[in-house]
Amino acid sequence: MEKILNGVHRFRNEIYPQQRERFIQLSQKKQKPTALFITCADSRVDPNLITGTEPGDLFIVRNAGNLVPPYGAQSGGEIATVEYALAVLGIKNIIVCGHSQCGAMQAIVEGTNLDELPGVRGWFAHAESTRQIVQHKYKHLPPEELLVAAVEENVLVQLNNLSTHPTVAARLSMGELKVFGWYYDIGSGKIRQYQQSSGVFKDLDGDPVAASPLPVRTSSTV
């Protein structure tokens, strides 16, 4: 806690005074985030840092494995958050971002015994399609490449889950929403984005290409 408390002290005495007007403006206006950013709870992933965004820019959902329960599932606040983001805040971009060395995906790939973690076991049911895709399509790969494939496939599975949400489906059908699938490599700092046209994740070069509402990966990048 010492590091955290020192950080609070620095924020209040250095950072906030320098940006006082910005914070006052944020407090006086309704939030208008640019995108809904769905990513893993992993402490090494910092959405604002890797996107160069500021407070107020991103509406963020974080959980183990960057999972999105399909519409109708009763598994937490993700469904309500997606609905609120689109219907109330009017967000027009959704990013689902997986990352390298993901512990959740590793547990799913390795079939880790989760009997002592029933909550985690139930939550990972939303990645069952990911597990089966990896098991049938990538079992020949070495562990490191297998994990990369699992993270990428899971991003696509969660985009598919997103498309079951009525607020998402309606806006996609009207061309009012764009969804993006990202893979963030912690060690290199690179971000790859899924491209429906080629069926692979490619280095993001600043020219976003919207993913399909029902992305199906046609070939492997590993």
pTM: 0.89
Whether the per-residue pLDDT at 59 is higher than 90: the answer is yes
The Cα–Cα gap between 179 and 57 comes to: 16
Judge contact between 138 and 149, C-beta under 8 A. yes
Q: Average pLDDT in the 43-55 region?
A: 96
Q: What is the pLDDT of residue 114?
A: 92
Whether the per-residue pLDDT at 38 is higher than 80: the answer is yes
User: What is the tens place of the pLDDT at every residue in 179-210?
Assistant: 999 999 999 999 999 988 888 899 987 665 54
The Cα–Cα gap between 75 and 65 comes to: 14
Q: What is the pLDDT of residue 209?
A: 55
Spacing of C-alpha 203 from chain mean position: 17
User: What is the tens place of the pLDDT at every residue in 132-183?
Assistant: 999 999 989 998 999 999 999 999 999 999 999 999 999 998 889 999 999 9
Closest CA to 108 of 145, 64, 62: 64
Q: Which residues contact 170 (CB under 8 A, 6 or more apart)?
A: none
Domain segments of the chain: what residues? 31-203
**DSSP code for 212:** P
Judge contact between 127 and 98, C-beta under 8 A. no
Cα–Cα distances in Å, from 150 out to 102, 117, 203? 9, 21, 18
Q: Which residues contact 151 (CB under 8 A, 6 or more apart)?
A: 98, 99, 100, 102, 105, 183
Q: Average pLDDT in the 9-30 region?
A: 89
Which listed CATH number (3.40.605.10, 3.90.1150.10, 2.60.120.560, 3.40.1050.10) goes with 31-203?
Answer: 3.40.1050.10
β-pairing, 58-63 vs 191-195, is: unpaired
Cα–Cα distances in Å, from 100 out to 93, 152, 178, 189, 191? 23, 9, 24, 10, 10
